[in-house]
Amino acid sequence: MIVAKPVFEVADIISAHSCELLVEGKLHAHQKKVFTNLVKCRTIDMGFHKDKCNNPNCKHIQISYNSCRDRHCPKCNGLKREQWVAEREKDLLPVKYYHVVFTVPDKLNPLFLKNPVLLFNLLFRSAWETVNEFGHDHKHLGAQTGMTCILHTWGQNLAFHPHLHCLIPAGGITKNGKWRYTKSKGKFLFPVKALSAVFRGKLTDGLIKLDKKGIISLPQKFIKSKKYLHPYYNTPWIVYAKLPMHNARQVINYISRYSHRIAISNHRIKAIDKGQVTFSYFNYRTSKAGTIQLKAKDFLQRFALHILPPGFMKIRHYGILSSKNKSECIAKVREELENVLTRQQDSSMKHAKSKVSYRTCPICKNGQMILIEIHRPKNKGSPKYLVPGYPFSSL
């Protein structure tokens, strides 16, 4: 399927309107760097490279400008996503998987914005400790389970909304090294109301510890004997669990949608006119689609909220899916569950791998595009005499 090139891009908005934020000093150094990368992405400023089809009957040559490879760029995540999903296929277990979402109340947003690394780490840790506790409880499972977490910080309207999308297998490994399915034959994971209560308790306990150490400052202190009266505690904490995914193809489709998603794609931007940006959104409460119009300056401020701290790991693996344990655990489970589910998984993996690669030749559709030359920008910019098109004088 060929996807049409978007008419408008986030880079266009940054080029035309980021100066307003710069003048007002509303962007820190890392945000400025990301904005610069997005503007220069796939332009002459990034240099260029040459690919050639390895099909001897084709030998098509293609010249392309280099990508910025920034994880916040709407244009740079397609190939990364395909490569990452290919790696995750190797880790899939022949069981059902649950999609669980951990969210925090919007009252905590100011704290998260002020201490992003600290509180994002606390969010990851609280979610895993909650799932791990329920997993080891014999009332619910009585085994070591695993979890893959993906951090998202946005809602459809680009407002700040930190939450975790988690992928959890329908079972775990017991102390005897045997696989045990979740209760009710895997029809549901754990009771979501109980999950919400435990998750709330663990995250608020973490906030109390950080406040006592003076690392953060809570606007209103917790009273130990009356913790339940605190505004952070006495508010809805939502853990949402979708129906289980029954095969590897569903799991892979899920991962590919969420793993390298950014706050907004270029295709959602519908218009840029007179300092206003119009973009599409989906209201999950009403199940209706619509459009939102914002001042370009406000749009960029919202987009900047979702630029993660440099080096921060937004995808993490725990338990039997962690890097330390997965090789041994996955092999053990696959050996024990060698049955129809495994054959279904193999079939769905073949289906997923049969997709056209990003490196497939656009002309013959059979060969693969092989990188043969790369020209990096000189002095942070390509030479002035290079112009779009082929051939280049320097080649």
pLDDT, tens digit, 9 for 90 and up, residues 342-389: 444 444 444 444 444 567 898 998 899 998 888 887 655 444 433 334
pLDDT, position 185? 63
Same domain, 244 and 370: no
Q: What is the pLDDT of residues 255-294, one digit of tens each?
A: 777 888 899 999 999 999 999 999 999 988 888 999 999 9
Same domain, 134 and 217: yes
**Residue 223, in any domain of the structure:** yes
pLDDT, position 155? 92
- What angle, rounded to 10 degrees, do the helices at 29-40 and 10-23 form? 150
Q: Which pair of structure tokens corresponds to residue 244?
A: 């289980």
Q: How far apart are CA 1 and CA 209, in angstroms?
A: 52
Same domain, 140 and 227: yes
**Residue 193, in any domain of the structure:** yes
pLDDT, position 357? 56
For residue 335, pLDDT beyond 90: no
Q: Quick one: 23 exposed, middle or buried, by C-beta within 10 A (0-12, 13-18, 19+)?
A: exposed
Q: How far apart are CA 292 and CA 281, in angstroms?
A: 7
- Contact residues for 72 (Cβ-Cβ < 8 A; gap 6+): 34, 37, 38, 262, 263, 306, 307, 308
Same domain, 67 and 85: no
Same domain, 243 and 186: yes
**Residue 184, in any domain of the structure:** yes
Q: What is the pLDDT of residues 93-110, one digit of tens each?
A: 888 888 899 999 999 999
Quote the number of domains for the chain: 2
Lowest mean pLDDT among 37-41, 128-132, 187-191, 273-277: 187-191
Same domain, 173 and 69: no
Q: Nearest Cα to 250, choosing from 161, 348, 341? A: 348
Same domain, 87 and 190: yes
**Residue 279, in any domain of the structure:** no
Instruction: Annotate 249-263 with b (16+ C-beta within 10 A) or e (fewer).
Output: bebbebbbeebbebb
For residue 149, pLDDT beyond 90: yes
Q: Which pair of structure tokens corresponds to residue 24?
A: 């007002």
**Residue 359, in any domain of the structure:** no
Mean pLDDT for all residues in the chain? 85
**Residue 384, in any domain of the structure:** no
Measured on CA atoms in the order 325, 326, 329, 332, is the torsion positive or negative?
negative
Q: What is the pLDDT of residues 217-263, one digit of tens each?
A: 988 888 777 878 888 887 888 898 887 777 766 777 777 778 888 99
**Residue 305, in any domain of the structure:** no
Query: What is the chain's alpha carbon radius of gyration, rounded to the nearest angstrom?
Result: 24
Q: What is the mean pLDDT of residues 304-320?
A: 95
pLDDT band at 12 (very low <50, low <70, confident <90, very high): very high
Q: What is the pTM of this model?
A: 0.86
Q: What range defines the domain where residue 106 resides?
A: 78-263+312-353
Same domain, 36 and 131: no
Q: How far is CA 335 from the centre of its chain?
A: 31
Same domain, 231 and 190: yes
**Residue 303, in any domain of the structure:** no
Answer with the residue of higher pLDDT: 346 or 123.
123
Same domain, 47 and 88: no
| Long-range contacts of residues 366-371, Cβ cutoff 8 Å, at least 24 apart | 366/55, 366/58, 367/53, 367/54, 367/55, 367/58, 367/60, 368/53, 368/54, 369/51, 369/52, 369/53, 369/54, 369/60, 369/62, 370/51, 370/52, 370/53, 370/54, 371/49, 371/50, 371/51
Q: What is the mean pLDDT of residues 145-162?
A: 94
pLDDT, position 248? 65
Same domain, 31 and 108: no
Amino acid occupying residue 179: W
Same domain, 194 and 92: yes
